[in-house]
Structure 1
Amino acid sequence: MISDETDAFGNPIPSPYSVVPAAPKPPVPATASSTTTTTAPAPSAAAAVGAFPTSDTASTASAPAAMVTTAASGDAPPPLPPRIPHGILTVTVLQARGLPRTDYLKDSDPYVKLAVDVPLIDAEKLAKADPTANVAFAQTQVGDRQDAVWHETFAFPIYDRRSGGASPAKVHVEVWDSDWPTADDFMARGVIDVPAWLLADGVESALAGQNPADLNDMLHERQRCRVGWLPVFGEDGKTPAGEVHVAVYYLPKTIVQRMQMKMESKTDKIKAKADKVKDKLTSKLVHKLTDLTASKIKLSFGSS
């Protein structure tokens, strides 16, 4: 007999006033293209301070804890040992003569810019952007009139150049007229070919066919110096625009190393003398203490 509360198959018939709970939905499997069901891990504190790239969250999360701690702690790397330069190039700007007149209402106020192995415009930009950068750039004080006298000396340590050589190749020289508060006016420029300048001894034609590598080797044989007048030219590089009197002196690495070894030898001798004096003082002190101890022992025995 069929009950009022069951159907023909024996299943209970729900009351029209009862609430039937909804069946749970089956889980949707995650696919490679699904991006809404996955959550990227939050970046670590090291990534927030820039120790690791914040755009690559996965690489940040998988970074070893030791690496993250070291980067976040801000420990500075150990300082590099000082490099010994391949040589020291010293340029003394003495005076000028025959410079062109750029101001017709007043006298010129010339000054000289120098750059070693780097075009002047690039060297000046680098030097102004970072005053601590190792850029071989220098500038004299402002002189007076076209025949200005400066007598200023600049030393340039020479390190390995990216072009492959270790010797200074060229010194770029430019003369400008100071027109403060307006822009300065260009006056002249020239280039010192360092090996030819130092090795020619006034006879440039003797080295006309020499291999540059041979000139560099000759330049490193010993210290060299030459004083002379450098021709300078106008904007086109052809029109003569006077001369600049310069003294160029090069101290090669062998001499620098010899001087360093001499200084180290002096330091070692001073240290050895100090140690010897210390040993003598220690010996005297020991003898003094021994004598005092012996006298006390004698006194104690004598008093008994």
Structure 2
Amino acid sequence: MVAFNRTPSHPSMFILMGIPGLEDTHVWFSIPFATCYVINLVGNFSVLYVVGKEQALHKPMYLMLCMLSLSGIILSTTIMPKALCIFWFSLKDITVGGCLIQVIFLSMVSMTQSAILVTMAFDRYVAICNPLRYTSILTNARTATLGLVSLIRGVLLMVPLPLLLSSLPFCANRIIPHTYCEPVAVAKISCGDLTGSRIYGLVIAVLVTGIDLMLIALSYGLILKAIFKISSKNTHLKALHTCTAHVCVMLTYYTPSLFTIMTHRFGQGISLPVHIILANLHLLIPPMLNPIIYGIKTKELRDKMSKYFCRM
């Protein structure tokens, strides 16, 4: 409880508490968190390197995977270095500007990732339902444009959130019971009216995630419809196999994300440490698993990566 009574030494500072109540075990928590972060960096940088070096992988699907890898690196790097500083060195102070930067990148990259997953679903739809027109519909240039549109959407939807948070009056005791500036945790330490930020957060969560999931469901509904029109069972399995990596990645992204959103809104019975641990894992686990999933499920990528790793 002593830690909770601490106040920042400067009015432009916040204090990130890490995992309140479990301060004595911070070092132990840092081990799995740091391990996940290192695997994340190694796996995603490996994908970026191999796809960049191999001309044969300069295809829409792998370009989208590179976008996902880059967003995963940015997302985890936004939170993990500061969290490890808290766990290892008790460096808990963070400037208001640094806190808002974390909010901006978390919101922007999360929404961009969701849009990339929608684009990847569209890629699978075109590959299965219009295979003869695939190369003309999804060129590398068009894929890059879709990636840019995903980023712009994330930026535009993100802009109001830090503006709403920065306009809130904060209490004298600026302690955030979290390992990073999670928007809900930042809003909770305000002394002002949170109605605007709560409504905006809920609308974004419902509309963005809801619309993206509907578009993905539509793509896969059309894919299944096209597959069931094919009489050959082997062709069924082959077509479905091309979608398994994307389906697995979607599950690793949306399942913990939706669970975290639901626990924030309706999980009052869940303890604060559990909230914080889940909030960290849902940003660390999906980007860590993405290169592993695609490396296992996609033979072409697996072969190219094996070639480079065997040289080491």
Counting strand residues as a fraction of each chain, which structure ranks higher? Answer: 1
Counting helix residues as a fraction of each chain, which structure ranks higher? Answer: 2
Larger Cα-atom Rg:
1
Assess same fold via TM > 0.5: no
Q: TM-score range by the shorter chain?
A: under 0.3
TM-score under structure 2 length normalisation: 0.20
TM-score under structure 1 length normalisation: 0.21
